[in-house]
Structure 1
Amino acid sequence: MRSRLPFPVEVALAIVAGVGAFVVSALVCSAARGHVPDLVMGLALLLVVLGIARAAGILYALPSGVAAILAYDWYFLPPLRDLNDAAYAVLGLFIVMAVIVGSVTTSAGRRALAAERARGDLAETQASLRRLALLIARGESPRSVFAAVTREVLRHFGNGTARLIRFERDGGATDVAVEGAMTPADELVAKVRGTGRPAQDGNALGTPIHVDGRVWGMFLVCSEDRLPPDSQARMAEFTELVATAVADAQSRAELVSSRARIVAAADEARRRIERDLHDGAQQRLVALSLRLRTAEAANLPELAADLTTVIDELRELSRGIHPAVLTDSGLRPALRALGRRSPVPVEVSVDLAERLPQPVEVGVYYVVSEMVTNAVKHAEASVVAVDASVDDDTLVLVVRDDGAGGADEGKGSGLVGLKDRIAALGGTFELVSPVGGGTTATCRIPLG
C-alpha cells in the first residue's frame, strides 16, 4: 500500500469509503435510470472500482465495489427497492465482509512484500560480506578494506553518511573512511566509546568495533530516511569484518616487526664479532708477528709465515660475517668483491643511483652470498648473474645460475632464512628452479 496510515485507521477509512461509494452510486444510478443502458452503467461502475483499486488498493476497492454493485442492483435494475432496516443490515454486512476480506488480503500482501524485501536485503548483505571477506583474504591493505566496507555500509543503510571512526589512545577520534557528507554526532560517538555498545539517536546509529578485547573504533551511520529495524544486527556483521581486518593487519605488522628485530639482532651480533676479531685476536696476532720477526731466530720466519696465514684467515672470516666494504662503500662494491672471491664467474649488474638503507643492503648481500654458495656447492653452475635495480621505489634483485636446478626452499634452511630475511624488510622472495633448468631467485623490497 502507498499509504503510511496506521492499519486500524485504514480499516475505518475503508468502511467510510464503502458507505460513501453506496451513496454516490445510488444517486448516480437513480439519475441515470431510463437514460443509460444497463450494460453501459455496469461497465462504468466497474471502471470506477478498478480506478479505486489502482489508486488506493484492494482494502478500499472491495467495499467500494460491493457498495456500487448493491446500489446498481437496488436503484438501477428492476425491481427497484426501498431502503429499510433489512436493506441497511444487508448493506452493512456486505461492506463489513468486503472490508474484512480486503484487510486480510492487504495484510498478507504487505507481509509477503516485507518478506521479499527482507530476503533481497539479506541476499545483498551476504553478497557484500562475501566481497569484503575476499578483500581481507587477499591481504588487501587496511586502507582499501576500510574504504570498501564504508561504501557497502552506506549502500545498505541509507543515503546519508557512513563514517568509520578509530578511537585514539589519547582520547581523540579519527575518521578512517567517510562516505557521503560529514555529519556531526559527537554525543553518539562519546556514548559508543564510553559504553562499548551500539547506540541510536533517531536516524543515526553507532556500532562499536571490538579488537582484542577493547573498543578499537565504531561505525556511524546517519540516514535521511528511517533506518531498518534490524540495522544493529546487520551492522554487527560489517563491524566484525573490520575487526578481522584490523586484527589481521596488526598480526602482520607484529610479525614483520618481530622478524626485523631478529634480523637486526643477528646483524648486530655479526658486527660485534667482526669488531671483536679485529680489535682483539687479530691485533694480538699482528703484534706477536712483529715480535717474532725481530727475534731473527732460524725457525722464526716460518712461524711468522704461519701467523700471517692465520691473520689472513681471520680477516676473511671477518669479511664473511659482515664485510667492511659493504658498510664503507655500499652494495655495488660489496657484490663485486663477493664475485671476485667466487670459484665460478659472477656477472654483477647493479643500477643504483644512491646508497640504500643499511638493512636493505645487508639483506641483499646475504641473499646473493647464499645463492652464489648454493650455485657452487649444489648446482654445479658455470656462471651466476646478479642484477639489482630500483623500479617504482622498489628494489628488484634477480640472481640466476645455469646449474642443475631443483632447489626447494621447503627443504633447505638457508633458502627459508633468505625468505624470512626479505619478508622482515617487507619484501617478497620468489624461487624458480626447474630440474635441469637452473635457478632464479627474485626479490622485491619496498624502499618507502
Structure 2
Amino acid sequence: MSGAEVLLMVDDRPSSFTRHAVRELAGRLVLLRFADARDDLPEDYLRETGHLPAFWVREGATVAEEALRYRDWVAGLPVVPTRFCNPSEPRQAVAQRFAGLAGLPHLTERQVALVRDKAVMKTRFRELGLRTAEFTRVRSGTEIERFAARHGWPLVLKPVDSFACVDTYRLDGPGDLAGLDLTARDWMVEAYLGGTEWEVCAIVLGGTVLDAWPSAMPCRPLDIVDGAMNANISVGTGEGPPVDLRALVQTIVTGFGVDHGYLHMEFFLIDGEVYAGEIGVRLAGCEIPANHGHAYGFDVFGATLDVYLGQRPDLEYRERRCAGDLLLPLPGTGLVRRITSRDELLGMPGVIDAVLKTGAGDTVAARRASHNASGYVHVVGASVGEVESRMREVLDRFTIEVVAQEAHAVPT
C-alpha cells in the first residue's frame, strides 16, 4: 500500500480484514461504528483499537442527523477521510447513505438495491444476459404453492435481504409450509438448482475487474446450516471451473456501475452453463479472502485496502496451491466444558493457522447461520481433494463439548 488518502471504514464486528487495516493504516484510518452493534464489539477489541478515532452513530437518530454531526466531528481530526469502505453486508443501506451524506465515495441507492435485494439483483442479472434460477417474490404459502406448481419442488425460500443463509430454507413439499410466517419481512422463492455451486471473489478499480479468484465448496451453504462441513477452498491451481470468471464478474460490474471494491459471488455450473446466484459488493464472509492470500501467496487484504483507497494493488502472486478455511463446529448453546487446543490443531496435516473464538469455561450461543463456528483453521494442499481430505481429518480429531448451563445450576 502507498499514498496518503485516509479511509473511513465501517466497523461493526472484528474481522481479519479490519484487524489488518488497524495494523497497516496507522494515522490513515477512521472507524465508523453503530451504537446498536455495541454488543458485537468485544472489550478486548475496543481496547486494541482504542488509539483510533471512531465515530459512533447513535441509536434512534436519522442518518442525515448523524452525517451532519460527523462532518462537525471529523473537522477536528488531524486527518480527514477521503475514501470509504463498508465490509458489512447488513449495513449496506445505512452505511452507503451515510457515506454519501458525508461527501465520500459510495454506492447509490439503486446500487444498494441491486446488491441487497435479491429479487432486484436477479432481475438485473437477466437484463445483462445471465441465466438465473426461476424466482418470484412471495407473501403467502398459497403463492409458494402456485410457484411450485409451475417450477416443481424443492424450492428455496429466503428474505430478499438475507445473508449467510440466515432464515433461508429448502422446501421439499407442501408439508414444509406449515407454520411459516411471511408477514414480517419481504420474501422470495426460487427453484432449487442442481449442478455444482462455486464462489468467485474479485477486486475492482476504475470499473475494471483486476482479477478474479474461484473457490470450491465441499458442501453447499444450505447443507452447512443443517450441519454439513463448513468450508471454502481457494483454487490457486488449474482445478477451477471452466469459466472466464473475470469476464463474468466484469459483466456485472459494468451492468451495476461499480467503480471499485471487493466483490463476492456465488454461481452454479449446470451441464456447462453458468447460472448466476448472488453477489455482494463487500468482502466475502468467513475467512474466504484470507484463503486467496494463502493460495496465491500475496497480501489480499492489502490489495483490497488499495482499491478502496483508489490505488492500484500489487497482484504479484508468489504461490499456486489450494488453501481453505474450515469453520470448526459450535454444536449448541451453553457452557464450553472442553475444546481442542490451538497447538493441537496446528499439529494436524496441512494446518497453517488456527483461531479459536471460544475456550473452556466460556458461554456460547449457536445460530442457524453459515458463519456459526467456534473457530477456524486454514488448511493448504496441492489439490482441492487433498485440502478437503485434510479438513475432514481435522473434523474427526476436533473435540468441543458444550453443556446446557441449567445442568450446572446450584440447588436452592
The TM-score bracket by the shorter chain reads: under 0.3
Structure with greater contact order relative to length (CA < 8 Å, sep ≥ 6): 2
TM-score by length of 2: 0.25
Q: Higher helix fraction: Structure 1 or Structure 2?
A: 1
TM-score by length of 1: 0.24
Q: Higher strand fraction: Structure 1 or Structure 2?
A: 2
